[in-house]
Amino acid sequence: MCLVRFVAINMIKLEAAELAARIKEEVKAEIASGVRASLAAVRVGDDPASAVYVKNKIRACEEVGIRSEHHALPESTTTEQLLDLIASLNARDDVDGILTQLPLPAHVDETAIIEAMDPSKDVDGFHPVNAGRLAMGRPVFVPCTPAGILELLDDRGVAIRGTNACVVGRSQIVGRPMAQLLLQRDATVTVCHSRTRDLAAVTRTAELLIVAIGRAGFIGRDHIKRGATVIDVGMNKVSDADEVRKLFGDEAEKRLDVVAKRGSTLVGDVNPSEAAEVAGRLTPVPGGVGLLTVAMLMKNTLKAARLRR
């Protein structure tokens, strides 16, 4: 057991609300100066989390002055019907950005839908053309979550060049594009996933640790290098009182109140009370990465409008 672990560390919480508001203000000012921009959001089925995400995105459009439309389709929608809608949105001159909320129901061919989107309207940056451009170091639309994380690191003056960075998770929407962005900024990047052997031994080498795995509080003190900057992308719901106590330590009572009121509380992939013992900086959940994702969507939609008009 390592003694230095018990020397108190003054961890900084990387709250993102102020930066997210600033990004949206910048978009709003450009829209107010006469740029017209519009976003079409497409959602299929009744997944409550997806409904909340789309509602938040539509609300952000209203805040900044981006025209928006919400296509909420029934669970029974087929791949062909969705392809028809995407084709019509691609063809419309008054639509600058298209957002298809993922995941789609299992019977819909998600890849076909993403690939059918006009890359110049792909404000989520998921189309192979945009993923390819990013991999080649010539990005146009970068997926909103990793793009927001980069903004946060830059805003807080967190060094990237030459650092050992570790990304845990290799999804198309977070892990892979995040690794590409860090590589482009001259970090030495390791990507971990569910088959990584001795994950903690790898993550403990990282000065910059970015976690996107979808497992509540999975990353603990043993995964984190002392003083590291830890970015927690995870958004998981926890309702079990013992688990809440284990995750939140001194702040558990506040979270238990939330569980009592709403049935669950939002938890990242990092155990916040254990991380506080070793990390130098940590993004909170909620109040961290999630806010930036929506702000970056506004920025990408404005960019699409500028490039198209």
> Which residues are tagged catalytic?
57, 101, 124
The pattern of x and - marking residues 164 through 203 that bind ligand NAP according to CB under 6 A reads ----xxxx-xxx----------------xxxxx--x----
Asked whether position 212 contacts ligand NAP by CB under 6 A, the answer is yes
Q: Under rule CB under 6 A, which residues in 65-124 are in contact with ligand NAP?
A: none
Looking at the Cβ atoms of 279 and 291, the one nearer to ligand NAP is: 291
Asked whether position 213 contacts ligand NAP by CB under 6 A, the answer is yes
Least CB distance to ligand NAP at residue 35 (A): 25
Q: Mapped to the 3 state alphabet, what secondary structure does the chain carry?
A: CCHHHHCCCCCEECCCHHHHHHHHHHHHHHHHCCCCCEEEEEEECCCHHHHHHHHHHHHHHHHHCCEEEEEEECCCCCHHHHHHHHHHHHHCCCCCEEEECCCCCCCCCHHHHHHHCCHHHECCCCCHHHHHHHHCCCCCCCCHHHHHHHHHHHHCCCCCCCCEEEEECCCCCCHHHHHHHHHHCCCEEEEECCCCCCHHHHHCCCCEEEECCCCCCCECHHHCCCCCEEEECCCEEECCHHHHHHHHHHHHHHHHHHHHHHCCEEECCECHHHHHHHCCEECCCCCCHHHHHHHHHHHHHHHHHHHHC
**Alpha carbon distance 288, 271 (integer Å):** 15
Looking at the Cβ atoms of 85 and 176, the one nearer to ligand NAP is: 176
Least CB distance to ligand NAP at residue 215 (A): 5
Looking at the Cβ atoms of 81 and 236, the one nearer to ligand NAP is: 236
Least CB distance to ligand NAP at residue 6 (A): 27
Asked whether position 145 contacts ligand NAP by CB under 6 A, the answer is yes
The pattern of x and - marking residues 230 through 269 that bind ligand NAP according to CB under 6 A reads ---xxxx---------------------------------
Looking at the Cβ atoms of 61 and 235, the one nearer to ligand NAP is: 235
Binding span for ligand NAP by CB under 6 A among 67-75, 90-98, 276-284, 287-295: 287-295
Least CB distance to ligand NAP at residue 74 (A): 24
Binding site for ligand NAP (CB under 6 A): 145, 168-171, 173-175, 192-196, 199, 212-215, 233-236, 289-290, 293
